[in-house]
């Protein structure tokens, strides 16, 4: 798509603390589009109760050149993990996330489509170049608004806010749907399968936009879309009889498997709405009730080691760490915020023990299923630790934040 002239927009967005290298045509990617100093209180180091191997894992993330961390889910979950600790005063994490954001705002709209596609592993789709940040309408790339929103909350960057609105608008107006009305995985595969991750990207992105909208009528449009996407996800992915989340829909038919990360994606989608939805909203209780059901299913199938199996109800499949970490992070948050009863501490502690044991002293993560929903449905369950994936360490950092809060 053609990129419109948004100089006027940037002029309005760059008042106050936010500078504009885009307008200045600066060659320095580090120009201060985002300056991490407005609402931030620097408390120095990572929490003292964070295990040393997890600290090393976080250090490994920051040793990557920030330019190499993309805006697809492999990159954005890592950045959000760092920002979890930045909110607690970890300045190094905030500095790194800010450099990442500045770089992609400055750089990505300059790339050709072919150059942009080289930044991530996943389906090619339409690239939107309308606003400050170029992004592709492949569903996992729509999660870019999640860490960007956390940056916005830390220093009120109007460019960060605009990116959040642009992503939600892309879901509302440009992205495809499957025949059930759920966000398409990408431009080409919407008829072949639907998987719970798309409920997460769609529900949370629109909830963020709703929370940022001062006009109630506008906010209600985003709330409606967020709730609809989550509700359809619950309807078609959650198996009430089994108490587990299906791997997805394939050619419109329910999956025959219950993949570990599917449990995580749907419970993350629920949390992605509840963080922003007013408690008095009629849908709040239904969403929280489903969160509890997913937690109950995870408790039932948690292994003696604290893990979930790759196929949760099949003990012949390997034990896996990311599905457990996803569920654990939301269950802990849900108890902390009163969304679900405080009955899951043993589950969380057991899962946290497994997570810690899955990270070696050099900060390398093990016990990761590096396939995805389609390979899980095909029962290719031996795809363990085949290649490094940034999303996996990001998930661990998110869980570590929840498990080390005082």
Q: Give the chain's domains with CATH numbers.
A: 1-175 (no CATH), 213-406 (1.50.10.10)
- Give the Cβ contact number of residue 146 at 10 Å: 22
The full DSSP string for 363-389 is: --B-S-B-S-HHHHHTT-TT-BS-S--
d(CA 108, CA 245): 36
- Cβ contact 262:237 at 8 Å: yes
9 pLDDT above the threshold of 90: no
pLDDT digits (tens, 9 = 90+) for 93-129: 999 999 999 999 999 999 999 999 999 999 999 999 9
| Pairing, β 249-250 against β 244-245 | unpaired
326 pLDDT above the threshold of 80: yes
d(CA 269, CA 282): 17
35 pLDDT above the threshold of 70: no
235: left (phi over 0), alpha (psi -120 to 50) or beta: alpha
- Cβ contact 243:237 at 8 Å: no
163 pLDDT above the threshold of 90: yes
pLDDT digits (tens, 9 = 90+) for 364-402: 999 999 999 999 999 999 999 998 889 999 999 999 999
37 pLDDT above the threshold of 60: no
pLDDT at 406: 76
Nearest to 390 by CA among 65, 133, 124: 65
pTM higher than the cut 0.85: yes
84 pLDDT above the threshold of 90: yes
- Can you tell me the mean pLDDT for 319-336? 98
Helices (H), ranges, 64-133: 73-86, 91-107, 113-117
32 pLDDT above the threshold of 60: no
- Can you tell me the mean pLDDT for 266-293? 98
pLDDT digits (tens, 9 = 90+) for 307-324: 999 999 999 999 999 999
Torsion angle defined by CA atoms of residues 50, 52, 53 and 57, in that order, rounded to the nearest 10 degrees: 70
10 pLDDT above the threshold of 70: no
Q: Enumerate the β-bridge partners of residue 293.
A: none
pLDDT at 41: 76
- Cβ contact 73:143 at 8 Å: yes
| Secondary structure element (H or E) that encloses residue 145, with its range | helix 145-155
18 pLDDT above the threshold of 80: no
- Give the Cβ contact number of residue 388 at 10 Å: 12
- Label residue 155 by pLDDT band (50, 70, 90): confident
Q: In degrees rounded to 5, what are phi and psi of residue 133? A: -120, 125
Which of 2-6, 83-87, 230-234 is predicted least confidently? 2-6
d(CA 49, CA 57): 15
- Can you tell me the mean pLDDT for 140-166? 96
- Label residue 34 by pLDDT band (50, 70, 90): low
- Cβ contact 184:139 at 8 Å: yes
pLDDT at 256: 97
Measured CA to CA in angstroms, residue 273 lies from 37, 330, 367 at distances of 28, 12, 29
Mean per-residue pLDDT over the chain, rounded: 91
Q: Enumerate the β-bridge partners of residue 128.
A: 135
- Can you tell me the mean pLDDT for 334-356? 98
24 pLDDT above the threshold of 70: no
Nearest to 271 by CA among 306, 226, 320, 216: 226
Determine what percent of the chain is predicted with pLDDT higher than 70.
Answer: 90
> HSE-up of 182 (CA within 13 Å, CB side)?
27
Q: Enumerate the β-bridge partners of residue 244.
A: 239
pLDDT at 133: 98
d(CA 260, CA 271): 17
44 pLDDT above the threshold of 90: no
Q: Any idea what DSSP says for residue 109?
A: G
pLDDT at 36: 58
d(CA 127, CA 18): 26
Coil/strand/helix, residue 224: helix
> HSE-up of 60 (CA within 13 Å, CB side)?
21
- Can you tell me the mean pLDDT for 167-195? 94
pLDDT digits (tens, 9 = 90+) for 182-214: 999 999 988 899 999 999 999 999 999 999 999
Coil/strand/helix, residue 12: helix
For the record, the structure tokens of 388 come out as: 């490094």
């Amino acid at each position: 798509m053609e990129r419109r002239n948004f100089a006027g927009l940037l002029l309005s967005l760059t008042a106050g603390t936010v500078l504009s290298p885009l307008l200045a045509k600066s060659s320095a990617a580090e120009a201060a589009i985002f300056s991490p100093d407005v609402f931030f209180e620097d408390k120095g180091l990572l929490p003292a109760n964070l295990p040393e191997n997890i600290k090393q894992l976080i250090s490994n993330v920051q040793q990557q050149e920030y330019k190499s961390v993309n805006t697809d889910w492999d990159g954005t979950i890592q950045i959000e993990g760092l920002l979890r600790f930045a909110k607690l005063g970890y300045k190094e994490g905030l500095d790194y996330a800010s450099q990442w954001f500045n770089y992609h705002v400055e750089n990505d709209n300059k790339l050709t489509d072919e150059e942009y596609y080289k930044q991530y592993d996943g389906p090619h789709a339409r690239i939107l170049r309308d606003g400050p940040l170029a992004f592709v309408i492949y569903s996992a790339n729509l999660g870019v608004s999640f860490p960007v929103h956390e940056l916005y909350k830390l220093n009120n960057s109007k460019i960060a806010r605009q990116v959040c609105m642009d992503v939600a608008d892309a879901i509302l107006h440009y992205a495809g749907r499957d025949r059930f009305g759920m966000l398409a995985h990408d431009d080409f595969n919407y008829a072949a399968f639907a998987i719970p991750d798309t409920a997460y990207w769609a529900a949370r992105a629109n909830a963020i936009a709703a929370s940022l909208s001062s006009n109630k009528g506008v906010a209600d449009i985003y709330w409606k879309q967020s709730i609809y996407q989550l509700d359809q996800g619950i309807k078609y992915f959650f198996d009430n009889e089994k108490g587990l989340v299906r791997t997805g829909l394939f050619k419109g038919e329910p999956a025959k498997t219950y993949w570990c990360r599917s449990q995580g994606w749907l419970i993350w989608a629920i949390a992605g709405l509840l963080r922003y939805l007013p408690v008095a909203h009629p849908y709040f209780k239904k969403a929280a009730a489903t969160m509890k059901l997913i937690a109950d299913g995870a408790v039932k199938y948690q292994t003696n080691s604290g893990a979930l199996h790759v196929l949760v109800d099949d003990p012949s499949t390997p034990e896996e760490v990311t599905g457990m970490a996803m569920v654990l992070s939301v269950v802990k948050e849900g108890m902390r915020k009163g969304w679900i009863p405080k009955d899951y501490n043993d589950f969380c502690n057991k899962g946290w023990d497994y997570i810690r044991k899955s990270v070696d002293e050099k900060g390398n993560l093990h016990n990761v299923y590096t396939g995805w929903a389609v390979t899980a449905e095909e029962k290719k369950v031996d795809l363990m630790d085949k290649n490094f994936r940034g999303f996996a360490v990001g998930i661990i950092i998110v869980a570590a934040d929840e498990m080390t809060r005082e």
